[in-house]
Chains A and B, each alone.
Chain A
């Protein structure tokens, strides 16, 4: 094979003529992220995350073979944002509840979310009701998490060459279906292979999902020594006051984020020296005493009271921050968003195992808030200035963001402190 010279972001690279761009870039020390490209498989070109520009023309990097004189753009601001956007589309299209996912920590998509620094999705979450198919012999296919990369379709075949997975339907209903007959023929090893090549937690092998405990997984402590600078924060300098004021609230959440706030242990003593808490469960003040510099909101909005509290916070705080997955996009309470509200309430209050027939009722009184048709994330209701992901977010993450905003010094967090679970 003839070696050829080509450029990536202006840097001259060499590779064999016709080599796949992803491989060629890697050999030259440039990482092009992708979720569908897989070793020996023909390029699938389905996820589009590796989109690059070849002589100005956009194309999926995995479908490009290098040739003499190519001028390839990989990490321009436009393309970095585009990659982030496509990943965000995947997050909003499926129902990716990282805190309750068996693959968390081993998930390529989640890791790419960390790598690209996604704190929240710019797009609205679609909350489509999707099937979890446990009928196959060895595996479970969770359509909520599938990104239709097609890896399993091309790679997983029975010993006699039959496909086990294939796309069915089309448009936004497209999904990867399983052939039950062929799936039963898979060996334990083949089934596990399917689980491992799946870039998300869509394909799981029954009984094998917790083989490696959380905390020991491949992305858990990846890049433990790298720091993530907390950039694009709005600095807030209010020189008139001695002490900065912080308010917090828990809406449709579990108070876990508040627990996490306390996790800085003795650091909290330093904190009360420099900030004063206003309305917050920590102080038990029910009303705002003064205007606050920062409001920290845990949880999304599932009822009318949440909406009112949130609006009050917006009115009384200069900077409003969504803390945790529930605040950012609905999180665990939003699992109900794929179902009609009536079904959820009936299941909870009337048809539940512990309720006796005709003895229970769905609570409804003018003194209690009304339940909204779905769980809304906070930035659906008011303007939110910053998002801190995690379930719960790491304490250092929370307080470093706060310190960054309130004081003029820059703080950063370590890589493993940025998590969705």
Chain B
């Protein structure tokens, strides 16, 4: 067996039996001719693979901060009450309940996946209904929620780039009028940036892949949208999947790659069938397959690879590791993927949104794209707005739009916004003196996640949620990220317990910088950001909450808290003296 099929093989066992048994692992290891522990290393890495039997229904309830502020706790309690199972303990043979990080449904929280079918806008009452139906043998799929996000805003009339009418094959037809070189040139001219969050120039990437001679090349669509708060890639794949596919075909045409892979995050597998249907339709209309649209030797086909629950796999290098059937650890990089990527061949990894924009640039021409936005970041950008706003959903905004406009009456209608997290937990937070900042390369970029919190939200609670997320999602291979995020999380806990002083604030900044300087990949290099920015930008809050450092007895110690455990059980261990 080819190692690249490992994830699919594991998925087969997982979906069929609810877990991957020791026997199965042993069998797979023989097929791969590797040791058992090597297969275990992969199965234990991914959140959605289980080593112990699970119930007939597996519930994954999102524990992201947006879910939290929209009533996660009550919904969680309702699930436990109705099913009789406890979260994160394998439960009975009916229901297994698990926490999971953001499932790309931040405009419809609290949300959960039950056997990977989506259930959104949950309330305790709704949970009861769902569990009752499941107990009555109703089909999960039949009672699942519709998940399409509302497209709340796009530039008026002809200006919109993404949200305008779509005609299947139009971009490809337009594209083949040009040579591959010209395509790369058009993308470069349009200054298209990678929209997954790294903002790497797309033209440069395509060009470098094109110039690297090889018998095989790959185009990978990164649909592993894991940053909490973002759901724009899901929306694109639900509304305009054709645009993304055409972007891949064009990338193949431009670079000479003949194989495309959509790395779809496991949380989105409920629309995998629909995507596959669409790919089939593309093949039938000669937009995929051999000699596309009759152009000789223009061959390109796409398959979908399902992820298995890992945030770090959203980083291109880790994603390739995962595709090759290994742990999603970002490798030590000696080559760029455009030289030695998937199977050691030149590979372009682009985000869903990037590919959609690439097709539109070819379709509409780069001049249309350049006429919008700012000098360094032309065009528009999809933003997923969630949190304390009246209109959560997808926004196609022109680059250069001030944050204040995005919060205003014309757009998301935020209610007394206080803390805004731009680009998710790994991004930057914004306080109310910065609302005139603009989303563009010249000022602040946004990967897609835009979470708004009002004054009633507890800042420490938000930051704790972020740190718990990184602690869980670190791949575990390098020390500063694996241990450092754990340690920073302990710091936040200390602040929550009221035992911190201003000295701790200083340490957060110092320790955060150490983690950022020494971590191996983008996860560790950005995970302390939210915390460092928050203590810097919300001084009012932290000055109020955290007392200044006391020169003499600078350490707070809660003795009452430290003996509580002893007090709580000691009575039951004593003989009854009265008798």
- Comparing B158-166, B267-275, B439-447, B517-525, the segment that makes contact with chain A is B517-525
Task: List, in ascending order, chain A residues with CB within 8 A of B485's CB.
Answer: 172
Task: List, in ascending order, chain B residues with CB within 8 A of A170's CB.
Answer: 44-45, 310, 327, 473-476
Decide: A171 and B519 in contact? CB cutoff 8 A: no
Q: With A and B bound together, what is the CA distance between A46 and B474 in angstroms? A: 13
Task: List, in ascending order, chain A residues with CB within 8 A of B334's CB.
Answer: 63, 65
Decide: B477 and A167 in contact? CB cutoff 8 A: yes
Q: Which among B475, B518, B520, B564 has the highest number of chain A CB atoms within 10 Å? A: B518
Decide: A48 and B38 in contact? CB cutoff 8 A: no
A44 contacts the other chain (Cβ, under 8 Å)? yes
Q: Which among A63, A166, A169 has the highest number of chain B CB atoms within 10 Å? A: A166
Task: List, in ascending order, chain A residues with CB within 8 A of B565's CB.
Answer: 340-342, 373
A124 contacts the other chain (Cβ, under 8 Å)? yes
A364 contacts the other chain (Cβ, under 8 Å)? yes
Give the nearest-CB partner of B333 in chain A. A63
> A90-B479, A342-B565, A373-B565 in contact; A361/B332 too (CB < 8 A)?
no
Give the nearest-CB partner of B310 in chain A. A170
Decide: A373 and B564 in contact? CB cutoff 8 A: yes
What band does the interface of chain B fall in when counting residues whose beta carbon is under 8 Å from A?
35 or more
- Comparing A110-118, A157-165, A231-239, A401-409, the segment that makes contact with chain B is A157-165
Report the minimal beta-carbon distance from A65 to chain B, rounded to whole angstroms: 8
A178 contacts the other chain (Cβ, under 8 Å)? yes
> A86-B514, A90-B479 in contact; A361/B574 too (CB < 8 A)?
yes
Decide: B332 and A171 in contact? CB cutoff 8 A: no
Decide: A123 and B517 in contact? CB cutoff 8 A: no
Task: List, in ascending order, chain B residues with CB within 8 A of A208's CB.
Answer: none
Decide: A379 and B555 in contact? CB cutoff 8 A: yes
> A148-B476, A372-B563 in contact; A58/B557 too (CB < 8 A)?
no
B475, B520, B552: which contacts A48 (Cβ < 8 A)?
B520
B134 contacts the other chain (Cβ, under 8 Å)? no
Decide: B476 and A361 in contact? CB cutoff 8 A: no
- Comparing A188-196, A243-251, A380-388, the segment that makes contact with chain B is A380-388
Decide: B514 and A85 in contact? CB cutoff 8 A: yes
Give the nearest-CB partner of B516 in chain A. A58
Q: With A and B bound together, what is the CA distance between A383 and B573 in angstroms? A: 36
Task: List, in ascending order, chain A residues with CB within 8 A of B552's CB.
Answer: 314, 383
Report the minimal beta-carbon distance from B260 to chain A, rounded to whole angstroms: 28
Report the minimal beta-carbon distance from B508 to chain A, rounded to whole angstroms: 12
B567 contacts the other chain (Cβ, under 8 Å)? yes
Decide: A89 and B483 in contact? CB cutoff 8 A: yes
- Across chains A and B, the number of contacting residue pairs, with CB separation under 8 Å, is 190
Q: Mark A163-185, 1 if CB is under 8 A from B, else 0.
A: 11111111111100111011000
Task: List, in ascending order, chain A residues with CB within 8 A of B570's CB.
Answer: 362, 364
Task: List, in ascending order, chain B residues with CB within 8 A of A163's CB.
Answer: 34-35, 37-38
A15 contacts the other chain (Cβ, under 8 Å)? no
Decide: B566 and A172 in contact? CB cutoff 8 A: no
Task: List, in ascending order, chain A residues with CB within 8 A of B564's CB.
Answer: 373
Decide: A45 and B563 in contact? CB cutoff 8 A: no
Q: Mark A119-135, 1 if CB is under 8 A from B, else 0.
A: 00011101000000000
Report the minimal beta-carbon distance from A392 to chain B, rounded to whole angstroms: 25
Q: With A and B bound together, what is the CA distance between A166 and B553 in angstroms? A: 46
Give the nearest-CB partner of A149 in chain B. B479
B496 contacts the other chain (Cβ, under 8 Å)? no
> A166-B38, A171-B473 in contact; A304/B479 too (CB < 8 A)?
no
Report the minimal beta-carbon distance from B332 to chain A, rounded to whole angstroms: 4
Q: Which among B37, B565, B570 has the highest number of chain A CB atoms within 10 Å? A: B37
Within 8 A of B (CB), among A40-96: 42-49, 51, 58, 60, 63, 65, 81-82, 85-86, 89-90, 92-93
Decide: A124 and B471 in contact? CB cutoff 8 A: no
Decide: B37 and A168 in contact? CB cutoff 8 A: yes
Give the nearest-CB partner of A49 in chain B. B479
> A314-B553, A381-B557 in contact; A168/B41 too (CB < 8 A)?
yes
Q: Which among A51, A150, A172, A383 has the highest number of chain B CB atoms within 10 Å? A: A172
B554 contacts the other chain (Cβ, under 8 Å)? yes
Decide: B563 and A179 in contact? CB cutoff 8 A: no
Q: With A and B bound together, what is the CA distance between A262 and B137 in angstroms? A: 77
Task: List, in ascending order, chain A residues with CB within 8 A of B329's CB.
Answer: 167
Task: List, in ascending order, chain A residues with CB within 8 A of B327's CB.
Answer: 167, 170
A49, A179, A340, A376: which contacts B562 (Cβ < 8 A)?
A376
Q: With A and B bound together, what is the CA distance between A171 and B520 in angstroms? A: 14
Query: Interface residues of B: mostly helix, strand, loop or mixed?
Result: helix
Report the minimal beta-carbon distance from B464 to chain A, rounded to whole angstroms: 15
Give the nearest-CB partner of B494 in chain A. A124
Report the minimal beta-carbon distance from B326 to chain A, rounded to whole angstroms: 10
Within 8 A of B (CB), among A285-314: 304, 307, 314
Decide: A171 and B474 in contact? CB cutoff 8 A: yes
Decide: A182 and B35 in contact? CB cutoff 8 A: yes
Q: With A and B bound together, what is the CA distance between A145 and B487 in angstroms? A: 18
Decide: A51 and B555 in contact? CB cutoff 8 A: no
A395 contacts the other chain (Cβ, under 8 Å)? no
Report the minimal beta-carbon distance from B565 to chain A, rounded to whole angstroms: 4
B35, B472, B478, B511: which contacts A45 (Cβ < 8 A)?
B478
Decide: A43 and B332 in contact? CB cutoff 8 A: yes
Report the minimal beta-carbon distance from A62 to chain B, rounded to whole angstroms: 8
B575 contacts the other chain (Cβ, under 8 Å)? yes
A371 contacts the other chain (Cβ, under 8 Å)? yes
Q: With A and B bound together, what is the CA distance between A326 and B131 in angstroms? A: 52
> A48-B478, A124-B490 in contact; A364/B574 too (CB < 8 A)?
yes
Q: With A and B bound together, what is the CA distance between A380 and B497 in angstroms? A: 14
Task: List, in ascending order, chain B residues with CB within 8 A of A341's CB.
Answer: 565-566, 569
B104 contacts the other chain (Cβ, under 8 Å)? no
Task: List, in ascending order, chain B residues with CB within 8 A of A43's CB.
Answer: 332
Q: With A and B bound together, what is the CA distance between A122 and B484 in angstroms? A: 12
Task: List, in ascending order, chain A residues with CB within 8 A of B490's CB.
Answer: 124, 126
Report the minimal beta-carbon distance from B63 to chain A, rounded to whole angstroms: 14
Interface of A with B (CB < 8 Å)?
42-49, 51, 58, 60, 63, 65, 81-82, 85-86, 89-90, 92-93, 122-124, 126, 147-148, 150, 158, 162-174, 177-179, 181-182, 304, 307, 314, 340-342, 345-346, 350, 361-362, 364, 370-374, 376, 379-383
Closest 9 CB pairs of A and B: A174-B476, A179-B37, A93-B483, A373-B565, A166-B41, A45-B332, A89-B483, A162-B35, A168-B44
| Given A58-B518, A345-B573, A371-B566, 19 extra CB contacts under 8 A | A46-B477, A48-B478, A89-B480, A158-B35, A163-B35, A167-B41, A167-B329, A170-B474, A171-B471, A174-B477, A342-B569, A361-B574, A372-B566, A373-B565, A380-B557, A381-B555, A381-B557, A382-B553, A382-B557
Ordered by A's residue number, 23 sampled pairs between the chains whose C-beta atoms are within 8 Å are A58-B518, A60-B520, A93-B479, A124-B487, A124-B490, A126-B486, A148-B482, A164-B35, A166-B38, A166-B40, A168-B37, A168-B44, A170-B473, A172-B476, A172-B486, A173-B476, A307-B559, A364-B574, A372-B563, A373-B562, A380-B555, A382-B553, A383-B554
